[in-house]
Amino acid sequence: MTKQPENIRSIFQQNSALHQLSQRSQHLEQLNYLLKQALPSQFSAHCRLANMNNGTLIIHTDNASYASLIRFQAPVIIKTLSTELKIEIAHLDVKVRPIHTPLQSQPTHNITLPSSAARALQQTAGSLEDGPLKDSLEKLSKRFND
């Protein structure tokens, strides 16, 4: 007997904290959409509404130059969004938050040599006097012989 997975909507309705979080997230996403519509097109791709608290609109930009330009536009943005949202916005706070892209793991390059090359390394190591070069060549030839 397998238990059917629950509908996510019913989970949100049962848990008031999740429901409030979901509602807040949807509201901020709507505000972000309105912000992007209100901004000039050259800004909208470089900023995102991060939060709105106590009449302060917090916007994140991906670099400092856009942050400065948006700060110059602050009075127009505040007036436009206050009118659109019918909410009193008193202050605009712009913060620089570069876009974080996770580092891609570098592919490992497995070098393979023909067995004749491994033998050549071994022969070269055999003809050398004891030392770091001889040791390195022997280790390298053993890696390719395995």
Q: What domain range includes position 129? A: 115-145
Q: Is residue 80 part of a domain?
A: yes
Same domain, 86 and 20: yes
Is pLDDT at 18 greater than 70 in this prediction? yes
User: In the predicted model, what is the mean pLDDT of residues 19-24?
Assistant: 85
Is residue 66 assigned to a domain?
Answer: yes
pTM: 0.58
For the chain, how many structural domains are there in total? 2
Query: Is 107 among the domain residues?
Result: no
Handedness of CA 91, 96, 99, 104 (dihedral sign): negative
42 and 91: one domain?
A: yes
Average pLDDT, the chain: 83
One domain for residues 77 and 37 = yes
3-state SS of 2-56 is CCCCCCHHHHHHHCHHHHHHHHHHHHHHHHHHHHHHHCCHHHHCCEEEEEEECCE
pLDDT tens track for 75-108: 988 888 888 777 888 999 999 988 776 666 666 6
Asked whether residue 136 is domain-assigned, the answer is yes
The CATH number that applies at residue 79 is 3.30.300.180
